[in-house]
Amino acid sequence: MNSPLNKEAIRPARHLDDVASAASPHKGTLSWVGMEGIALPLLVAGQAIAARASAGVSLDAPDTRGIHMSRLYLALAELEHQELSLASIRSLLDTFLDSHQGLSEQAFLELNGEALLRRPALISPLSGWKTYPFALRCRRTPSGTQLILNVSIGYSSTCPCSAALSRQLIQQAFEEDFNDIPVSRAAVHAWLGSEQAILATPHSQRSQAHLSLRLTPDIDELPLLDVINSVEKSLGTALQTAVKRVDEQAFALANGQNLMFCEDAARRLHATLSHQPAVEGFALRIVHAESLHAHDAVARSEWNWEPV
Ligand SMILES: Nc1nc2c(ncn2[C@@H]2O[C@H](COP(=O)(O)OP(=O)(O)OP(=O)(O)O)[C@@H](O)[C@H]2O)c(=O)[nH]1
């Protein structure tokens, strides 16, 4: 059995050695030093979420052994209990540098989480929750601040080729079924409502737009919700939450009105994102998880973008 804790034995000495501030046995600067995977509660679009943070600084003093991890860790509390904003992130990066004067010229913060948004149904008054994975990568250097927002947005895509081929089969079936009977409005109406008439349907797939956006460095609000809304509007076929039949019918119509190859989706989003006021440049990757194939159809596009 362990002996009881002897608090006297662990009472802190008046002076605690600070190894981090001592001279390093090995000299040299380091581009990034800090902590990864820190649990951090955040408020995004009004919802509390569990995020993970990476916090770091450069170590530009070649003789100093280490940075002060606790100062970075404690500073992260600045982001708690308030809506996540770019203004608060810039202030936090300043705190990182202020707490490492003489040691660090650059500060870094990465936040990973899932935005949790309530989304309305297409027609009915219902709504439900959807998550959008995001990452915010921030860097403060003597020449300014860089902010990269990554976000993934799911949607539905219906193959335009498959739709055309299905229509062709329906036309052929019409030719055959009405070959020797008179074409009346009532007969065609009844025929259109039968499974035997609409004998082929195009394939659809759950698809993903993976976006990396370089944000205008001096804006204060995080444009996550604006970007998600613009992208879903541009594609027209956002994944749904609560669905009644009236919503499902509207979704079928939206898919039929927005037939999309991965190239079509990439071009639409290229146009949409290049008009987002908060976005200075982007790289996008469109992934259609094909139901026709066991592999994915993918398109990429960039604007004003250099990989970082
Ligand atoms: N620099 C550094 N610190 C580490 C590492 N691993 C654990 N730590 C610990 O992180 C703790 C916090 O470091 P500091 O922020 O320097 O703590 P402190 O000296 O009490 O705080 P200040 O007085 O503000 O400097 C220390 O107990 C370190 O031992 C590491 O790899 N590098």
- Counts of helices then strands in the chain (DSSP H, E): 7, 8
Structure-token match 């990034």, residue found: 32
Centre of ligand 1 to C-alpha 22, Å, is 12
Buried b (16+ CB within 10 A) or exposed e, 25-54: eeeeeeeebbeeeeebebbbbeeebebebb
- Protein residue with least CA distance to atom 5, ligand 1: 69
Residue 158's pLDDT is what?
97
Residue 259 one-letter amino acid: L
Residue ranges around ligand 1 (CB below 6 Å): 18, 20, 66-71
- Protein residue with least CA distance to atom 7, ligand 1: 69
Ligand 1, atom nearest to 73 Cα: 15
Residue 5's pLDDT is what?
61
What does each of the 308 residues of the chain score in pLDDT, given as a tens digit?
455 566 666 666 678 888 777 777 889 999 999 999 999 999 999 999 999 999 999 999 999 999 999 999 999 999 998 899 999 999 999 999 999 999 999 999 999 999 999 999 999 999 999 999 999 999 999 999 999 999 999 999 999 999 999 999 999 999 999 998 889 999 999 999 999 999 999 999 999 999 999 999 999 999 999 999 999 999 999 999 999 999 999 999 999 999 999 999 999 999 999 999 999 999 999 999 988 899 999 999 999 998 65
Task: Specify the DSSP class assigned to residue 184.
Answer: -
Q: In whole angstroms, what is the distance from residue 197 CA to residue 260 CA?
A: 24
Q: Which residues contact 115 (CB under 8 A, 6 or more apart)?
A: 44, 45, 47, 49, 131, 132, 134, 151, 224, 225, 228
Instruction: Note if the pTM is more than 0.95.
Output: no
Q: In whole angstroms, what is the distance from residue 4 CA to residue 8 CA?
A: 12
The tokens of 186 are what?
A: 């009532």
Q: Which residue of 70, 71, 100 sits with most ligand 1 atoms within 8 Å of its CB, as the best mutation to test the pocket?
A: 70
Residue 96's pLDDT is what?
98
Q: In whole angstroms, what is the distance from residue 64 CA to residue 44 CA?
A: 38
Ligand 1, atom nearest to 70 Cα: 15
Enumerate the β-bridge partners of residue 130: 117
Q: In whole angstroms, what is the distance from residue 224 CA to residue 238 CA?
A: 16
- Protein residue with least CA distance to atom 32, ligand 1: 66
ipTM: 0.90
Centre of ligand 1 to C-alpha 80, Å, is 22
Centre of ligand 1 to C-alpha 16, Å, is 12
Ligand 1, atom nearest to 67 Cα: 1
Residue 18's pLDDT is what?
80
Q: Which domains does the chain carry?
A: 31-159+203-303 (3.10.270.10), 162-192 (no CATH)
| Among 165, 134, 163, 164, CA closest to 150 | 134
Residue 1's pLDDT is what?
44
* Percent composition of the chain: helix, strand, coil (DSSP 3-state, to 5): 30, 35, 35
